[in-house]
Every structure is written in structure tokens, then in C-alpha cells.
Chain A
């Protein structure tokens, strides 16, 4: 069964609104969660690393004020795309480790219109 549950699997929002994506670890505690984005027909690019109870670490070029990451509990990390624009349309995927193996969420297809 799924180890990491990501929700929603797809979302359409209007330009200027905010969208929250949730990533839950099922039956285990995920102290670290990685957030990736994938543009169509491109690779996964690491956006940020979130650690429970502390501020996320963002990769170079990722706007931390636009992509808000919260990791308030050991089983839930959230990514909020604030003031979304069409160029934010992408596939967002979360990932964490369990027993040295990486597990990925199912991904969220965000379309901003």
C-alpha cells in the first residue's frame, strides 16, 4: 500500500489564488520531506527540504515567499503555492524516506488559469 499520501491529485485554480498541497506519511514519522516540481516532459527539480519543527531549506532560485512549506507534525508536510500564476502550473511531488528507501507521493497536477 501507499507509504506517502499526497492530496489533491489535481487542482485547477484561478490566477492570484493560493493552493495548498498536503503530503502525509502513513503509519510512520517523516522527519524530512522533499518537495519537487516537474514541468511537462522535464525532470523533477528539487524545490525544498522541510524538516519537522524547523524552517524549510529552499534550493537556489526557488521563491520561499511564494512556495510556503510547513512541516508542523511528523506525519504532515504542506506546500502552499501563493498568488499562483499560470507559470506555476506544474506537477508537484513530495518524497520522504523510510528505512533508507525513498517514497514518493502520487503527485499533484496544478493548473492555474
Chain B
């Protein structure tokens, strides 16, 4: 069965600084990988996804993620964070393009002014 590990529960960065959120997955075959963002009390918004092809994926709001099969990782990055990026970020994995999605525990991002 697939699983996702987000080792960082909380991360704090200064506004304008770069960001990297870590994600490791466990799945026997090529996974379908996602990053979602959730603001307090809100639903989920898809930032980006990886199904196949180029391992560097561009998403919305200036985010990108890189799929590294050798490391079973799909880390999320942003070169310069904004105060509005403060939220909960979830990495997720699916077995197929339209199969159930399994979520990591999430990383809460705090932004210092």
C-alpha cells in the first residue's frame, strides 16, 4: 500500500526567503504525486501534480516540486515566500490517475515578517 511521510510538522521561514518542504513516499510502482495547500478552515487547493514525464513540475503560486525516484521524494520548493503562503501543506500519493489519494500528515508553514 502506498504511504506518504512529511517529516516536518512545522516550518518557519522569513518572508522573501526560499522554502523547501520535504515529502517521501512509499509505493511499489510509479506513483502519482500531489501537493495540496489548505488554509485554516478551508478546503484543499491543488498546487501541482506529477504523473509522468519531466521530473521537475511547475505549479501555481510560484511553487515547483521535483520527483526523485532514487530518493522516493517529491519535495516542494518556492524561491521566495510571501506572507500569504502561510498555510498547511499536504503531500499526497495515488496509485492511479483516478484512484484514492493518500495524504501525508501535513506541514504547517509559518511566515515571519
Contacts and interface: CB of A to CB of B under 8 A. Distances in A.
Interface string B84-103: 00000010001001101111
Interface stretch (A12-20, A39-47, A65-73, A82-90): A39-47
Interface string A46-72: 100100000000000000000000000
Given A42-B105, A44-B90, A102-B34, A34 B100 contact: yes
Interface in A82-107: 93, 95, 97, 100-102, 104-107
Is the contact region of chain A dominated by helix, strand, or loop, or is it mixed? strand
Interface in B45-73: 46, 49, 51
A46 B103 CA distance: 8
* Contact-residue size bin, chain A (C-beta under 8 Å from the other chain): 20 to 34
Contacts of B94: 102
Contacts of B51: 100
B46 A46 contact: no
A10 B102 CA distance: 24
A104 B41 CA distance: 14
Contacts of A36: 103
Given A43-B106, A100-B51, A102-B34, A107 B43 contact: yes
Given A44-B90, A46-B100, A104 B105 contact: no
A101 B51 CA distance: 11
Given A93-B44, A105-B43, A43 B97 contact: no
12 contacts: A34-B100, A41-B108, A43-B90, A43-B105, A44-B90, A46-B100, A95-B101, A97-B98, A100-B97, A101-B49, A104-B44, A107-B43
